[in-house]
Amino acid sequence: MNFCNQCGSAVSHRVPTGDNRPRYICDDCDHIHYQNPRIIAGCLPFHGSQVLLCKRAIEPRKGWWTLPAGFLENGETTAQGALRETREEANANAEIIEIYTMFSLPHISQVYMFFRAQLLDLNFSAGEESLEVALFEEHEVPWDALAFPVITQTLKHYFEDRKNNEFPIRSADILYKKPD
């Protein structure tokens, strides 16, 4: 960030009075530009014993399998965002059951949340950001071709929890360790 989005003047990176961490502050109008983590909301859509996955048509991880998810937009609830992404990426109609997994990824300032969601019909298809959309039984899941650790962890929890048909929230931090 170089310029104030309110008045167009240059910004400095310094600790505001009464604060305890540096922010971008306008040298002219004193506006403080806070930057905060973003939420990625998604669904774990299921139909009977099958789960729906999307093969990514975009980077990062183009060609790898994922659950439908994306950045929550202003004005949305987390569940609305998760369902919107499911429609956009998989043209799928689903109904939210409950939030299921939540992950903090502090190295990229992101918080992921996935909702269990029942497919309402089987009229799904690849959206613009997907190459392919398909249903998988547990033994068919392409475990070695999943796009992100949050996807792998959500699916592992799900198949494990499904044995007891109890789905408590599963939350975890995914911490990036710099290589030695």
Q: Report the residue number, 145 or 169, with the smaller CB distance to its own copies.
A: 169
Is residue 76 within the footprint of its own copies (CB under 8 A)?
Answer: yes
Is residue 171 within the footprint of its own copies (CB under 8 A)?
Answer: yes
- Looking at this protein, which amino acid is placed at residue 50? Q
CB 66 within 8 A of CB 151: yes
Could you give the 3-state DSSP secondary structure of residue 16? coil
Considering only the stretches 4-12, 42-50, 139-147, 149-157, report the one whose residues sit in contact with its own copies under the rule CB under 8 A. 4-12
Is residue 92 within the footprint of its own copies (CB under 8 A)?
Answer: no
User: From the CB of 179, what's the least distance to its own copies, in Å?
Assistant: 19
Is residue 176 within the footprint of its own copies (CB under 8 A)?
Answer: no
CA angle 39, 101, 116 (to 5 degrees): 100
Cis ω before 60 (30° cut-off from 0): yes
User: From the CB of 139, what's the least distance to its own copies, in Å?
Assistant: 29
Is residue 60 within the footprint of its own copies (CB under 8 A)?
Answer: no
Is residue 138 within the footprint of its own copies (CB under 8 A)?
Answer: no
Q: How far apart are CA 58 and CA 67, in angstroms?
A: 14
CB 44 within 8 A of CB 26: no
Q: How far apart are CA 172 and CA 29, in angstroms?
A: 40
Residue ranges binding its own copies (CB under 8 A): 1-8, 10-11, 18, 21, 24, 33-39, 71-80, 98-99, 102, 104, 106-107, 109, 111, 128, 168-169, 171, 173
